[in-house]
Amino acid sequence: MSNYKFHDPNLPYFVTFTVVRWVDIFTRKDYRDIIVESLCYCIKHKGLKVHAWCLMSNHLHLIMSAENNTPGAIIRDFKKYTAKRIIKHLVTHPKESRRSWLLWIFDNAGRANPDNTYYQLWQNESHPIVLYSPHVTAQKTNYIHQNPVKAGIVSQPEHYIYSSAVDYAGQKGLIPLDSLAA
């Protein structure tokens, strides 16, 4: 898929997955849990290596690499699976107060995209940026971990559980991390 260009799949990449129209879908725990479960599945079964991450209300940042030179395929499958699960949850859980509005947004985004036949949750691009040096990797990791601080959600990065800042502070986070060799 052309939206997932990894020129050197052996290197780590900084990627961002953004919800269409920057909709704040991940304000609900159910949807955050789908993302965490899916990342863990991809780590265990698809060769995804997560080096840093942070899930915000409308986007996900990862520093990632992949075994078997397949980062694009892993991202494609992750986005497809999580979109289907979240949409299914919206359709089958009528108590979601924003249900009609969210489905309307995702339906319109899907209709506007000739590659879709149904709802669209994620924007197409993930803009992978190769992390070619330890300095750039540290910069991106800091950027990821500071996201919830800059958003005013927490005062310290390690206080936000939907982030690898917890792991970097010496505790165990929600997603198993793979350390990058320096």
How much is the pTM?
A: 0.94
Residue among 62, 52, 59, 64 at smallest CA distance from 165? 52
Higher pLDDT, 110 or 10: 110
| 34-91 pLDDT per residue, tens | 999 999 999 999 999 999 999 999 999 999 999 886 899 999 999 999 999 999 999 9
What CATH code would you report for 13-168?
A: 3.30.70.1290
- For range 96-124, the mean pLDDT: 93
Looking at the chain, the whole-number percentage of residues with pLDDT higher than 70 is 96
pLDDT, residue 2, reads 42
Decide if pLDDT at 1 tops 50: no
| 152-169 pLDDT per residue, tens | 999 999 999 999 999 999
In whole numbers, what is the pLDDT of the chain averaged over residues? 93
Q: Domain-by-domain residue ranges, the chain?
A: 13-168
Decide if pLDDT at 16 tops 50: yes
Host H or E run for residue 130: strand 129-130
Host H or E run for residue 129: strand 129-130
- Residue 145, judged by CB atoms within 10 A of its CB (0-12, 13-18, 19+), counts as buried
Looking at the chain, the whole-number percentage of residues with pLDDT higher than 90 is 83
Sequence-ordered strand ranges (E) for 6-93: 13-18, 48-55, 59-66
- For range 119-143, the mean pLDDT: 94
Q: How far apart are the first and last CA of the chain?
A: 31
Single-letter code of the amino acid located at 29:
K
